[in-house]
A and B are shown apart, each in its own frame.
Chain A
């Protein structure tokens, strides 16, 4: 059992949990994730470690409510417990002094890129960040990212905050208006369509890009291959070989399709939960 010692809701449908788990906190490095299971009947879901406090023995997770498990988790409170948390899993992100790093994040991906950007900054990189969200209510960690950025851009789909449009629009604009190379490397984390588009744009400009993939996972320790992705034509298991990969080599169509495999079942599960909790009055 793992204690939730702090819960808040920093943005619409996004919950932040601080969880007591000293073994994981001691070991966690930027880019790594945990797998958790809420209760006996729960499923195992992967979540990136957004922050780790070695002294307090805690890790921080940002969880967007997108389906049954994340919504159920959103109903947990301070002092509640989570049955299982295992980690840190995956290969830590590669951190070195590249020069200038462009950090692009969308939605809850901002929480994932934050520890990476922070580590890159500490290594002496100049950080240019581009954050994106659907609208103003969905923005998280703006000040935190701003405080470590040398240049900072924000975009919302509906224009309710920052520039109107997608992070890819900001990126295109930057690439078009600067004479010298914008950055030595790009880190992009967010929804698959966003990472795909950003990878395509950077490819046209011969700009190296690292993405953090989010395929379906079960065990997270390399024993099942549910999370397999094609990278440069070779099958990799994202949980043990990643989750970071070269964005130019990822088979995005395959990943998109594999992520949609359980769509129908996911809906059934959410409906079942809603009925059970009398949460929805679906007509």
Chain B
């Protein structure tokens, strides 16, 4: 039999795509998907499943794609994953399911993410309300559960609880549902229409969503218990932007990546003035940091019309935390990497607009607690360059707003809620937590895994209450 090579997903040409916010990756055709699915050797003991935080039956759904039974493929996916069109797009499969694929040992792993995306998209375009959708009881046990935050962790926890028959309501402080899926990840990586379709699916399971409610301010957790909620899941994420604390950081046109991306993605500032929210950038942009958020910010800057976008990172390319695919995409689009470089201060003009930055060269020293080699400044290596817009993408901390309002809740030194990793239980009975609020900034799928585990624990907790 002729060996099939891994199917490449078609993408928009780099020169074209930096002029628009449409999807970069265009998705498999049916033929490609079937070909790729046939590469899966259907292991008896599939190791890929161990790599998936929500334990999708990977060979199972891939087999159905190979047989062109797409509705059945999506049914298997949705059995474990409530947001497959999202995960297929944004999961770092190369470090999760695909790295565990046996084909990866000798060649290229099966493109599990691309296939997941194909199946989910197929359902959205061909049978939006097909029987493929897992049917489920709608809040038949009458027990009320509150989920705080509508990001990946909250959505997953809510969906799973609804499938178990609970009456679930999600409280979201923003006007749109989805958390980082709406405000953080740009349209060209994750179309908002896809996010909305997947959230509609979660609503179809019976989950209610109440936007514009900031738990801790609009209502307290205690009030939720008083209103009859039997358990509360906190999935409020890591929405606190970090700054460097160096001189000049509050100059004009220095944005946190959170502000920059929220304006563009959630508020659609790229469509200004059709949309009311403005964004103001110059021609020369520097993005500080090298995670996915930094790549997103850099690529958004190009699309907003910047001529020159630099990534400024204090380690080397090898240590960059962003997905390889995103780094490649960014480079292809013209983003330049300034490695082993750290900002020291920012300079501005008489109107406080940023005009330049002073950096220092770094070299790598001994590995730190994260296992990455620690960057050490090289003495007297300071240099300056001109720049008129800066985006700080050096990480986010857990948002302290809600934890601060819950008396007796145990919180770690980074403001994260301390939980039992396996169960999501916090120091207070009836309150569970998961996702970035517990772990600090991590991935969408890790948050979903935490939401899933917490749903199981909440179910057990409620059953024990009744005894």
Q: Write the chain A residue with the least CB distance to B348.
A: A257
- The answer to whether A261 and B277 touch across the interface, beta carbons within 8 angstroms, is no
Within 8 A of A (CB), among B389-442: 399-401
The distance in angstroms between the C-alpha atoms of A133 and B245, with both chains bound, is: 39
- The answer to whether B401 and A240 touch across the interface, beta carbons within 8 angstroms, is yes
Q: Write the chain B residue with the least CB distance to A273.
A: B273
- The answer to whether B214 and A223 touch across the interface, beta carbons within 8 angstroms, is no
B241, B268, B272, B277 — which one has the most chain A CB atoms within 10 A of its CB?
A: B277
- The answer to whether B401 and A85 touch across the interface, beta carbons within 8 angstroms, is no
Q: Write the chain B residue with the least CB distance to A41.
A: B275
- The answer to whether A221 and B256 touch across the interface, beta carbons within 8 angstroms, is no
Asked if B329 is at the interface of the complex by the 8 Å CB criterion, the answer is: no
Asked if A86 is at the interface of the complex by the 8 Å CB criterion, the answer is: yes
Asked if B2 is at the interface of the complex by the 8 Å CB criterion, the answer is: no
Asked if B93 is at the interface of the complex by the 8 Å CB criterion, the answer is: no
The distance in angstroms between the C-alpha atoms of A23 and B216, with both chains bound, is: 12
Q: Using an 8 Å CB-CB cutoff, how does the interface string of B200-226 with A read, 1 for contact, 0 for none?
A: 000000000001111001110000000
Please count the residue pairs between chain A and chain B whose beta carbons lie under 8 angstroms apart in the complex.
124
Within 8 A of A (CB), among B265-282: 267-268, 272-280
Asked if A105 is at the interface of the complex by the 8 Å CB criterion, the answer is: no
Asked if A169 is at the interface of the complex by the 8 Å CB criterion, the answer is: no
- The answer to whether B240 and A269 touch across the interface, beta carbons within 8 angstroms, is no
- The answer to whether A265 and B250 touch across the interface, beta carbons within 8 angstroms, is no
- The answer to whether B239 and A43 touch across the interface, beta carbons within 8 angstroms, is no
Which listed residue, B217, B243, B351, touches A27 by the CB 8 Å rule? B217
Asked if A88 is at the interface of the complex by the 8 Å CB criterion, the answer is: yes
- The answer to whether A44 and B277 touch across the interface, beta carbons within 8 angstroms, is yes
Asked if B258 is at the interface of the complex by the 8 Å CB criterion, the answer is: yes
User: What's the minimum C-beta distance from A25 to chain B, rounded to whole angstroms?
Assistant: 11
Asked if B253 is at the interface of the complex by the 8 Å CB criterion, the answer is: yes
Q: Write the chain B residue with the least CB distance to A228.
A: B250
Asked if A200 is at the interface of the complex by the 8 Å CB criterion, the answer is: no
- The answer to whether A84 and B351 touch across the interface, beta carbons within 8 angstroms, is no
The distance in angstroms between the C-alpha atoms of A272 and B275, with both chains bound, is: 10
Asked if B174 is at the interface of the complex by the 8 Å CB criterion, the answer is: yes
Q: Which residues of B contact A258 (CB under 8 A)?
A: 250, 252, 352
Asked if B249 is at the interface of the complex by the 8 Å CB criterion, the answer is: yes
The distance in angstroms between the C-alpha atoms of A5 and B199, with both chains bound, is: 32
Q: Which residues of A contact B241 (CB under 8 A)?
A: 223-225
- The answer to whether A88 and B276 touch across the interface, beta carbons within 8 angstroms, is no
Within 8 A of A (CB), among B117-151: none
The distance in angstroms between the C-alpha atoms of A264 and B278, with both chains bound, is: 10
The distance in angstroms between the C-alpha atoms of A37 and B239, with both chains bound, is: 21
Q: Write the chain A residue with the least CB distance to B263.
A: A218
Interface size class of A (residues with CB under 8 A): 35 or more
User: What's the minimum C-beta distance from B91 to chain A, rounded to whole angstroms?
Assistant: 23
- The answer to whether B280 and A88 touch across the interface, beta carbons within 8 angstroms, is no
Asked if B459 is at the interface of the complex by the 8 Å CB criterion, the answer is: no
Q: Which residues of B contact A69 (CB under 8 A)?
A: 276
- The answer to whether A235 and B175 touch across the interface, beta carbons within 8 angstroms, is no
The distance in angstroms between the C-alpha atoms of A266 and B276, with both chains bound, is: 9
User: What's the minimum C-beta distance from B451 to chain A, rounded to whole angstroms?
Assistant: 20
- The answer to whether B252 and A268 touch across the interface, beta carbons within 8 angstroms, is no
Which listed residue, B262, B351, B352, touches A218 by the CB 8 Å rule? B262
Asked if A83 is at the interface of the complex by the 8 Å CB criterion, the answer is: yes
Q: Which residues of A contact B280 (CB under 8 A)?
A: 261-262, 264-265
Asked if B457 is at the interface of the complex by the 8 Å CB criterion, the answer is: no
Asked if A165 is at the interface of the complex by the 8 Å CB criterion, the answer is: no
Given A89-B217, A223-B240: A261 in contact with B272 (beta carbons within 8 A): no
User: What's the minimum C-beta distance from B247 to chain A, rounded to whole angstroms?
Assistant: 11
Q: Which residues of A contact B22 (CB under 8 A)?
A: none
Asked if B443 is at the interface of the complex by the 8 Å CB criterion, the answer is: no
The distance in angstroms between the C-alpha atoms of A69 and B278, with both chains bound, is: 12
- The answer to whether A23 and B173 touch across the interface, beta carbons within 8 angstroms, is no
The distance in angstroms between the C-alpha atoms of A41 and B267, with both chains bound, is: 8
Given A41-B276, A86-B173: A261 in contact with B250 (beta carbons within 8 A): no
Asked if A81 is at the interface of the complex by the 8 Å CB criterion, the answer is: no
Q: Which residues of A contact B272 (CB under 8 A)?
A: 265, 268-269
Q: Which residues of B contact A235 (CB under 8 A)?
A: 243, 245, 249-250
Q: Write the chain B residue with the least CB distance to A230.
A: B250
The distance in angstroms between the C-alpha atoms of A41 and B400, with both chains bound, is: 30
- The answer to whether B173 and A266 touch across the interface, beta carbons within 8 angstroms, is no
- The answer to whether B352 and A257 touch across the interface, beta carbons within 8 angstroms, is yes
Given A43-B267, A235-B249, A269-B272: A221 in contact with B214 (beta carbons within 8 A): yes
Asked if B259 is at the interface of the complex by the 8 Å CB criterion, the answer is: yes
User: What's the minimum C-beta distance from B396 to chain A, rounded to whole angstroms?
Assistant: 8
Which listed residue, B218, B250, B255, B401, touches A23 by the CB 8 Å rule? B218
16 more A-B residue pairs beyond the given contacts A88-B217, A261-B252, with a C-beta to C-beta distance below 8 A: A23-B218, A41-B274, A44-B267, A84-B175, A87-B214, A89-B214, A218-B262, A221-B173, A221-B399, A224-B256, A228-B250, A260-B351, A262-B278, A268-B272, A269-B272, A269-B278
Q: Contact residues of B with A, CB < 8 Å? A: 173-175, 211-214, 217-219, 239-241, 243, 245, 249-250, 252-253, 255-256, 258-259, 262-263, 267-268, 272-280, 351-353, 399-401
- Which 7 pairs, one residue from A and one from B, show the smallest C-beta to C-beta distance? A265-B278, A257-B352, A223-B239, A224-B259, A43-B276, A272-B273, A84-B175
Q: Contact residues of A with B, CB < 8 Å? A: 23-24, 27, 37, 41-44, 68-69, 83-89, 218-219, 221-226, 228-230, 235, 240, 251, 253-254, 257-258, 260-262, 264-266, 268-269, 272-273
